[in-house]
Structure 1
Amino acid sequence: MRRIRRTAGSLLCICLLLLNTGCWDNRDINHRSLPLVMGIAYHENLYQIVLQIPEPLESGISLKILTQTGKTINQAVDKISARMESSVDLLHLKVILVEKEYAQLGLSDSITTFMRSREISPKALVVICDEKLDTFFEHVKVSMAPKGTTLYDSFEKNAGWNPQMALTRIWQVYRSIHSYTRDVAIPVYKSGKSGTIDYTGSAIIKNGRMVGQITPEETLLFNSVNGLGTQGKIEVMNNASVLILSNSTRHRSRLVHNIPYLDIELTLKVSIVETKGTPTTKLIKDELQEVLLQRFEHLFDKILASKADILGVGQYFRNKLPRSELSHWRTDYLPRMKVKLKVNPVIQNEGNLKLS
């Protein structure tokens, strides 16, 4: 009798192990659709969702553009999935493309949804589309090579990205929504005339809402001050063009009579690419300093006008202000802030030219 019980118990354990293999809810990859780009718009209290799905063919890859509307993002995605022969899997989503009108209304709800969902990676890039989504995706489908990842490659740092473009991910936007002292800039694109997409600058995002825009040249300076690499960008001046090889920044902050002061020292290592006439090294350095200082002044004027701290300078005062005052950083302290930028150009390579 005891042997029978042991045998029955062993068989029961084996059956339970077979049921607990962990693969019962897996779907074969052939039965899943893996979109790389999601477009989001909001009109008349309905979300419009556009998915760009690459489909492998014997002769290459085709792009399928599917769109649906819904009261929520999940409802619209479910409608798309219900009309397909395979289920939609958002785990490999690389780019969230937001229509500009929706960005101006505010992205807080959508960004919170993405962070709460485990189906979308928080590392996905956020991009703003400066036109209707239908127009943009139709242009991409017709004009750009159907590699499947072409649109994503335009934003990827190791592919089509360049230093005058902002690079912002879902988790960074979410952090800025809940931060008193840090906002973000999101790149803005639209369809181009030569079969590509055009980069028009970066949107200033405050508390999840677009409140302004900066130019590509100002975005380059924004990236430099924030410590992002700007290698490869050519600065065109009156007498020369230089190639930025590397950059570094140092910050010094102080609070005097409740007025924040910040000194920023930006060091640029550059190489001379082209000259007009015979300018001296000093003249080239002076021109580079003048260009960047004027550009920074315009950039900071836009920051003050929008009361959005995209440079994150408030981070340097978190240990100087009580937490109760940090919530007033954008309204009380940022508008009174005094910033001094010092640019130190270092010419590392003069090419074949010897300048005095």
Structure 2
Amino acid sequence: MNKRTFKTLIVALSMMMLFSGCWDTKDINKQYLPVVMGVGKGKTEKYRIILQIPDASGKTQILDKESKSISKAIDLIRTDSEKSIELVHLRLLLIDREVAEQGIDNIINFAVRANDISIKGLVGVIDGDFEKTMYHQISPTPEISSYDFFSQDAGWTPNQSIVRIWEAYQNQNSYTEDMAIPMLKNGDRTLFTFKGTAVMRDDRMVGTLNQEETLLFNLFKGKYSGGTIEVAQNTSVLIQDTKIKHKTSWSENGPSILTDILLNVVITESPEGKGNAVIEKEMKEQISQQFNETIKKVQSFKSDVLGVGMIFRPQLSEGKLKEWKTKWFPKLEQKINVRVNVLNEIYFKENANDNESQGKMLKK
């Protein structure tokens, strides 16, 4: 073998090695990449699976099939589709309320076991017409996605709960915590309208929290960023910071917990002449009452959605740990005290038409 032939062979082998790693790649133009999956009850089968697939223009294509299992329904969608279906970009799993009330264990397990679904995806419950919500579209807006309504960097506020697939899997198998799932339906001028929170016990929906109660739930969990609270007499405050301390005890009657919550707030609206001390007093009484009413409501569902069991977990023996939801949580005595500290008032210009005053302010 001469040197020229040898060099040619080496180059050929090198090229083969370079291309060997991408022989099975797929053209992205021949793939459907759903971002939302809806799981509802089929008319003739157990499950109805609806996939939402956005395109570059902002429009959404809908693919829809029914089957006895989720994986089979997706396989049927693949069979009838002119492109391959890849779930790697799935960001949102929406479950019909009727299905959620029957149990979502199988759905969450499927999402966790599927190799091509990210466990960082979000979960929601559709409280309304399942088909109408999944097929609902607004004017094409490429810069807006369904995920933005749940993103803390975009449309999310503390009036909405938030749970990811991995958290749902963890909570439905937890001895000491249940999950809260955001509830929504199709909006009129927006993609979604949020209705509150679905309260789960293990894997089944057992009750609901409205938006105000959801805000309190998020406060207890430390998720308060951007939260606004309305107080009596046209007063609103913006939560800047929270400090939460729990004091637990265990008597012959069972567990008890006292929670102190300090809210540092700034005033965004208030009647003229209303002092900070009055606002602090009104807000303390109002939020304390709402918190304790919400606690009673949650306990009536027999759901530890606040995760109080996680606070007691270091004190629980293995036996008490397994009995927490069935035996000890129903006996729990829980109370919340709220303190409010007004940091300052947001400044509003009293005379917006006074150009001279505005000029002086700008110079400063």
The CA deviation string for residues 85-142 of structure 1, in whole angstroms up to 9 with x for no partner, is 2111101100001111000000001101111111111110001111232111232x2x
159, 164, 171: which one pairs with 2:154?
A: 159
266, 279, 284: which one pairs with 1:289?
A: 284
Mapping for residues 251-290 of structure 1, pairs under 5 Å: 251-257=246-252, 259-290=254-285
For the residues of structure 1 that align with 2:110 and 2:190, how far apart are their CA atoms? 34
Bigger shift: 39-48 or 92-101?
39-48
Instruction: Report the Cα offset of residue 317 of structure 1.
Output: 1.4
Partner of 1:134: 131
| 1:68–1:80 contact (8 Å) kept in structure 2 | yes
Corresponding position: 1:322 with 2:321: no
Partner of 2:351: none
Q: Taking every aligned residue pair, what percent have the same amino acid on both sides?
A: 35
For the residues of structure 2 that align with 1:148 and 1:128, how far apart are their CA atoms? 24
Mapping for residues 49-64 of structure 1, pairs under 5 Å: 49-56=49-56, 60-64=57-61
Partner of 2:358: none
SS at match of 2:128: coil
Corresponding position: 1:337 with 2:336: no
Partner of 2:122: 125
For the residues of structure 1 that align with 2:268 and 2:144, how far apart are their CA atoms? 33
SS at match of 1:163: coil
| 2:220–2:306 contact (8 Å) kept in structure 1 | yes
Length, aligned pairs only: 339
Partner of 1:300: 295
Q: Which amino acid aligns with 2:275?
A: T
Q: Which amino acid aligns with 2:123?
A: V
Partner of 2:33: 34
162, 169, 174: which one pairs with 2:164?
A: 169
Mapping for residues 68-217 of structure 1, pairs under 5 Å: 68-139=65-136, 141=137, 143-147=138-142, 149-217=144-212
Q: Which amino acid aligns with 2:339?
A: N
For the residues of structure 1 that align with 2:337 and 2:288, how far apart are their CA atoms? 8
For the residues of structure 1 that align with 2:186 and 2:55, how far apart are their CA atoms? 23
Partner of 2:223: 228
SS at match of 1:331: helix
For the residues of structure 2 that align with 1:158 and 1:235, how far apart are their CA atoms? 23
Partner of 2:47: 47
Instruction: Report the Cα offset of residue 72 of structure 1.
Output: 1.1
Instruction: Report the Cα offset of residue 18 of structure 1.
Output: 4.1
| 1:223–1:230 contact (8 Å) kept in structure 2 | no
| 1:36–1:93 contact (8 Å) kept in structure 2 | yes
SS at match of 1:91: coil
For the residues of structure 2 that align with 1:279 and 1:351, how far apart are their CA atoms? 14
| 2:237–2:266 contact (8 Å) kept in structure 1 | yes
For the residues of structure 2 that align with 1:149 and 1:281, how far apart are their CA atoms? 40
For the residues of structure 2 that align with 1:115 and 1:303, how far apart are their CA atoms? 28
42, 61, 65: which one pairs with 2:62?
A: 65
SS at match of 1:22: helix
Structure 2: gaps of 5 or more residues: 1-5, 349-364
For the residues of structure 2 that align with 1:62 and 1:280, how far apart are their CA atoms? 51
| 1:53–1:148 contact (8 Å) kept in structure 2 | no
Instruction: Report the Cα offset of residue 236 of structure 1.
Output: 3.6
Instruction: Report the Cα offset of residue 20 of structure 1.
Output: 9.3
The CA deviation string for residues 131-155 of structure 1, in whole angstroms up to 9 with x for no partner, is 232111232x2x3534274322112
For the residues of structure 1 that align with 2:154 and 2:260, how far apart are their CA atoms? 30
Instruction: Report the Cα offset of residue 279 of structure 1.
Output: 2.1
Cα 1:258–1:23 change in 2 (3 A) is farther
Structure 1: gaps of 5 or more residues: 1-6
Q: Structure 1 length normalisation: TM-score?
A: 0.88
For the residues of structure 1 that align with 2:45 and 2:134, how far apart are their CA atoms? 22
| 1:263–1:339 contact (8 Å) kept in structure 2 | yes
Instruction: Report the Cα offset of residue 340 of structure 1.
Output: 2.2
Q: Structure 2 length normalisation: TM-score?
A: 0.87
For the residues of structure 1 that align with 2:223 and 2:167, how far apart are their CA atoms? 15
| 1:144–1:196 contact (8 Å) kept in structure 2 | no
Partner of 1:4: none
The CA deviation string for residues 208-263 of structure 1, in whole angstroms up to 9 with x for no partner, is 11000001111111111111133242434335211112223222222122511112
| 2:292–2:336 contact (8 Å) kept in structure 1 | no
Instruction: Report the Cα offset of residue 196 of structure 1.
Output: 4.1
For the residues of structure 2 that align with 1:194 and 1:92, how far apart are their CA atoms? 26
The CA deviation string for residues 260-292 of structure 1, in whole angstroms up to 9 with x for no partner, is 111212121111111124222221111111221
For the residues of structure 2 that align with 1:267 and 1:25, how far apart are their CA atoms? 57
| 2:59–2:140 contact (8 Å) kept in structure 1 | no
| 2:129–2:185 contact (8 Å) kept in structure 1 | no
Q: Which amino acid aligns with 1:183?
A: D
